[in-house]
Amino acid sequence: MQNKTTPPSSQEQLLQRAQALAGMTLGEIAEESGIDIPENLTRNKGWIGLLLEHVLGASAGSRPEPDFPHLGIELKSLPINSLGKPLETTFVSVAPLTGLVGVTWQTSYVRKKLAKVLWVPVLSDKNLALKDRQVGTAFIWTPSEEEDNLLALDWQELTDMIVLGNVENIQGKHGQVLQLRPKAANSQVKTQAFDKNGKPFLTLPRGFYLKIPFTQMLLHKHLRID
């Protein structure tokens, strides 16, 4: 009842494994893996991601490194509706609010995270029971020059605001493809940042998220969904 998959030895093998899941329901996948499936995601928001990590042989744990370190590939599940539209923004990484001197887009954590991603779409219409949700066709993505430029632009804008002490003025609307939003256990959690005068203060931790139109574009490009 615990057949943790061995790590994939190559990108090709990983992609094959992921694409072999296409058409399967989460119930079927969980059953084959001997994993209990929750009624819903309300108290298990990351469950689908963890299930996919398990069956694809990702290294477990919450270490700050790619899911497949030897391949340099990050795994992201992507909830979509029946029209192929993402239902949620995609969390990328926690946003550093301090220690940003000298950090550039080229060396940023966001860029590193998104350098190579295995996207696994999951048909997740709200009226579909969790066990009946169906995995779509996975694909591996590396940002094109154009996509990299879009991300760089937003990252720079948001990072500039953080550096200038304007983190609390950042809205979700900032950025075309990337946004900064709270990322914490609850609204009481605080982390240190710097205000406009360079004085430290405590604020809600933030994370970078990919906006829906961006991930939707990726789906269309790679799967030719319409």
* Binding site residues, DNA, CB under 7 A: 40-46, 48-50, 52-53, 61-64, 67, 74-77, 79, 88-91, 93-94, 96, 113, 122, 124, 126, 171-173, 179, 181-192, 204-205, 207, 212
- In the complex with DNA, the residue whose CB is nearer, 5 or 145, is 5
Spacing of C-alpha 156 from chain mean position: 19
- In the complex with DNA, the residue whose CB is nearer, 63 or 199, is 63
Least distance CB 25 / DNA (angstroms): 15
- In the complex with DNA, the residue whose CB is nearer, 124 or 159, is 124
Phi-psi category of residue 224: left, alpha or beta, with phi > 0 → left and psi -120 to 50 → alpha: left
Residues forming a β-bridge with 209? 91, 179
Whether the Cβ atoms of residue 217 and residue 86 lie closer than 8 Å to each other: no
Beta pairing class for 74-80 and 117-123: parallel
Least distance CB 147 / DNA (angstroms): 19
Instruction: For residues 52 and 76, give the distance between their C-alpha atoms in angstroms, rounded to a whole number.
Output: 9
Least distance CB 85 / DNA (angstroms): 8
Q: How many CB atoms within 10 Å of residue 170?
A: 18
- In the complex with DNA, the residue whose CB is nearer, 57 or 145, is 57
Least distance CB 112 / DNA (angstroms): 9
